Amino acid sequence: MGKLLFFEPALSGNGKRSCASCHRPEKAFTDHRGTSRALRFTANLTRNSPTLLASARQKTFFHDGRAANLGEVVRQVVENPQELGSSYAQLTGRLAESPAYRLAFRQALGTDITEASVNKALAAYVTSLISNNAAYDQARRGQQPLPTIALAGKRLFMGPAGCVGCHAAPDFRDGRRYLVRPGEWVKTPTLRNVALTPPYGANGQAATLLDVLGDAFHAAHRPRPLAPAEASQLLAFLAALTDTTSAEHRPPLALPALHSLPDRRVGGLY
């Protein structure tokens, strides 16, 4: 149920956007843009789109940690005029046009189409986006060792480079916020699948992971400077945190018919 809604443009005010507009499965549930596209096609949001992989295990959400649960995330995105630009009255009314949607909600959730049931279904889908099958996980389970360069990077990460202080396993984040520049506090992002999610930073300001390793914030929090060879080792370890989760989550082939939006596309137009 939640998967259908995730790719459903009827949740947006103009019927052309969906959750998948900014969180695309083939891009590890990001959009690879510096800052995500806004509801108005020619405008952008002010933040980079974070991955949704393993995101349900967080204690707070959004880059600034302003939401305490996934239901609140959905509400803020739905009602934000720059994101989905809709209301629960509008989207539930649209979905209720469809006998297939009404039946699906009753079968999946035992309820009618309401704000609460929409939020619950979407939260259930996001919660399912978890897979710990990266090379790092396989090595921990004794299935196969990390490559030599990645193992050297792991030792740096856990020791002299000090990365583990903010990026602890299993999700390689600490849930805390840090002052990244005057007046701007940002939550530590996960490093799982990080090689798949450029550009980086809450504002998409870093094009590559090497740029992140060399930025002023990380340099100030690192015990000592990194040698070029050490940076390569750390990058190899970060690549070892990549799994195939995003490739396993494909869009639905079709959506239930809606009289008010007969020509909408799975995932939206943009």
How distant, in Å, are the alpha carbons of 17, 28, 96, 191, 198 from that of 195? 26, 10, 40, 8, 7
- pLDDT bucket at 37, cuts 50 / 70 / 90: very high
Confidence bin at 246 (pLDDT 50/70/90)? low
The pLDDT score that the predictor gives to residue 244 is 72
- Whether 249 shows a pLDDT value over 90: the answer reads no
pLDDT at 254 over 90: yes
Strand partners, 184: 181
Domains assigned to the chain: 2-130 (1.10.760.10), 135-243 (1.10.760.10)
Cβ atoms within 10 A of the Cβ of 261, count?
A: 18
Kindly report the average pLDDT of the chain as a whole number: 96
Backbone dihedral region of 168: left (phi > 0), alpha (psi from -120 to 50 degrees) or beta? beta
* Tokens found for residue 47: 């933040």
Better-predicted residue by pLDDT, 13 or 250 = 13
pLDDT confidence band for 163 (50 / 70 / 90): very high
Instruction: Report the DSSP beta bridge partners of residue 82.
Output: none
Q: Which residue has the tokens 């949001």?
A: 45
pLDDT of 214 > 70? The answer is yes
| 9 pLDDT higher than 80 | yes
pLDDT tens across 168-198, in order?
Answer: 999 999 999 999 989 999 999 999 999 999 9
Q: Minimal CA–CA distance to 150: which of 242, 216, 217?
A: 242
Q: What pLDDT does residue 31 have?
A: 98
> What pLDDT, on a 0 to 100 scale, did the predictor assign at position 247?
65
- Cα–Cα distance for residue pair 268/270, rounded to 1 Å: 6
Residues 130 and 58: their CA atoms lie apart, in Å, by 12
- Direct distance between the N- and C-terminal alpha carbons of the chain, in angstroms, rounded to an integer: 22
> Distance (Å, rounded) from C-alpha 234 to C-alpha 76?
36
Whole-number Å distance between alpha carbons of 78 and 190? 24
Taking alpha carbons only, the member of 193, 165, 178 closest to residue 27 is: 193
**Structure tokens given for 253:** 């082939």
How far is 37 from 184, CA to CA, in rounded Å?
A: 21
pLDDT at 131: 81
- pLDDT at position 242, please? 95
pLDDT in tens, 82-113: 999 999 999 999 999 999 999 999 999 999 99
* pLDDT band at 130; cut points 50, 70, 90: confident
